[in-house]
Amino acid sequence: MTDDIATAFDHPEARASAAGGLPDRLSLRDFVVSADIGAFQEERGATQRLRFNIVVEIAPLPAGLDDDVDRILSYDRLIEAVEAELAGSRLNLLETLAEGVAARILAEPQARRVFLRIEKLDRGPFALGVEIVRDAAALPIAGAGAPCPVVVYLAPEVAETIDLSALLDRYGSGPDPLILALGLPPGTHPETRPATRPDVVTEEARRRIALLAIEQRAWALAARDARLKVVATRTELDWALRHGRAAVWAPSKIVLDTPGAPLDKAADGWALALWLAELLGARRVVAHGTVTIPAGSRVPVERA
């Protein structure tokens, strides 16, 4: 495999002299984009340059090509794979980004194997990166997506007193998985936490404090019934949906990492619940407590 990697990224002259017949390949060299990526706090909210080098081994070109671009795997598809993966949720790891880009490329009918190198160019006077090799023949067979859930929102005034066992029995008996979403408890507006001067608390701090306050409620609620699982990432959420586990949403990571999330409404648990329902294509949203049902929601909304 090491020799394969060296050959893949080597100059075509070296590749041509290699022993044995090598498959045709398509390449994208030194493609540089800027992205918000990284696991460290200092990397959040600031773009940095990423350099992509991609080599794709492809099936033999079809007979009678007739100079028709629609019959081949084009260079544009490689660029689109990178751009589409970066346009999704914010990522912490280059490894995750590489896996996603490789999977998109190998979904193309002509692609057989992909060699991918991604480097960060702005973390120092050097390049930091990862290299992966993925084979289309080794990909797992794609299964069905996560089922459409029912999102149940518990307004602050009912979350503490609701009969949780009865609620889970009611919604858990249906065919659709259940996600519980919560709002801020009364008297815990972001401006009052932490105990410091309000004029020095930044907007980002207010958002994070509000989201963390909702997460505290999620953990407290889950502790009341063993059937509940707190979910903080999209992976955890999809797992819970596929396995029929009733979930309580801890919103910080998904809200902060998803482009287009309503960050200006981080203190509004009802707005976040509606956004999550639309993001997941929920079957419906059920509101327990006092809420204002918006007009034009893409997901059916009903009061309990």
Same domain? For 154 and 283 the reply is: yes
- Determine, yes or no, domain membership for 145: no
What is the model's pLDDT at position 143?
47
What is the model's pLDDT at position 16?
44
- Determine, yes or no, domain membership for 44: yes
* End residue of a domain, out of 138, 162, 185: 138
- Determine, yes or no, domain membership for 144: no
Same domain? For 134 and 155 the reply is: no
The count of domains in the chain is 2
Domain carrying residue 63 = 2-12+20-138
Same domain? For 46 and 132 the reply is: yes
What is the model's pLDDT at position 9?
61
- Determine, yes or no, domain membership for 285: yes
Same domain? For 26 and 60 the reply is: yes
Q: How far is Cα of residue 162 from the mean position of the Cα atoms in its chain?
A: 32
Same domain? For 269 and 177 the reply is: yes
What is the model's pLDDT at position 189?
55
- Determine, yes or no, domain membership for 28: yes
Q: Could you identify the residue written with the tokens 């992205």?
A: 35
What is the model's pLDDT at position 226?
92
- Determine, yes or no, domain membership for 296: yes
Residue type, 197: R
| pTM of the predicted protein model | 0.62
* End residue of a domain, out of 101, 117, 138: 138
Tokens in use for 65? 């090509």
Same domain? For 160 and 297 the reply is: yes
- Determine, yes or no, domain membership for 47: yes
What is the model's pLDDT at position 108?
84
Same domain? For 128 and 169 the reply is: no
Same domain? For 297 and 175 the reply is: yes
pLDDT above 90 covers a percentage of the chain that reads 36
Tokens in use for 107? 């979904």
- Determine, yes or no, domain membership for 81: yes
Question: Could you check whether the bond before residue 259 is cis, i.e. omega within 30 degrees of 0?
Answer: no
* End residue of a domain, out of 138, 159, 191: 138
Same domain? For 154 and 299 the reply is: yes
Those residues of the chain that have pLDDT short of 70 are: 1-21, 61-72, 139-146, 185-201
Same domain? For 122 and 68 the reply is: yes
What is the model's pLDDT at position 109?
81
Same domain? For 299 and 156 the reply is: yes
The secondary structure of the chain as a DSSP string is: -HHHHHHHHS-HHHHHTSSS----EEEEEEEEEEE-B-SSGGGTT--EEEEEEEEEEEPPPPSS-TT-GGGS--HHHHHHHHHHHHHSS-BS-HHHHHHHHHHHHHTSTTEEEEEEEEEESSSSSS-EEEEEEEEGGGSPPP-PPPPPPEEEEE-HHHHTTS-HHHHHHHHHTSSS-EEEEE-PPTT--GGG-SSS-GGGS-HHHHHHHHHHHHHHHHHHHHTT-TTEEEE-SHHHHHHHHHTT-EEEE--HHHHHHSTT--GGGTT-HHHHHHHHHHHHT-SEEEEESS--PPTT-SS-EEE-
What is the model's pLDDT at position 17?
44
Kindly report the CATH number assigned to the domain that includes residue 259.
3.40.1160.10
Same domain? For 179 and 273 the reply is: yes
Q: Could you give the C-alpha distances from 37 to 45, 46, 90, in angstroms and in order?
A: 9, 8, 6
Kindly report the CATH number assigned to the domain that includes residue 117.
3.30.1130.10
